[in-house]
Amino acid sequence: MATAQVTKNSSIRFYPTRIDLSAEVREGVVSLLSQTLATGLDLKTQAKQAHWNVKGLDFYQLHELFDTLAGELEGYVDMVAERITALGGTAMGTARIAANESLIPEYPFDIVNGIEHIQALAERYATYGAHVRAAIDKTDELGDADTADLYTEMSREIDKRLWFLEAHLTK
């Protein structure tokens, strides 16, 4: 059996697979998925930060909403990591990697009321949603319809959750 290889253009280790996508396609897709993995992990922990620290009149409903968001994000993180490994890549999902590679900014630690948490999460969901939507086209262009489909599924739900957050911001 062949041993794992580290590619020239990436620090991600690849393992042999019989999936009929070229190594170049798999490397491009895994690179994009790795960015999604890091950002998804970061966003999940930020939703938990809001869950743990929200205060105010809407505490209970927001506490529950933020926990739901974090749980859903955990599911997407797992799907993305498993797709990386199915393509022969190595899922790089530690907290340190997520912090270094995430597309979203650090969560503000000085907020406590619900509206401030909703605004912070809505901004981050919008960034994540834009990334996921762009990834649909990129993976389709690379010729990986399965990963494009995974991103499409994620996009619908991320947009729906952004709508839920933004609905709280309407006066």
The mean pLDDT of the chain is 93
Query: Tell me, what's the pLDDT at 11?
Result: 62
Q: What is the pTM of this model?
A: 0.91
pLDDT tens digits for 114-146?
999 999 999 999 999 999 999 999 999 999 999
Mean of pLDDT values over 59-86: 98
CA distance 95 to 131: 20
The domains located in the chain, with CATH, are 14-167 (1.20.1260.10)
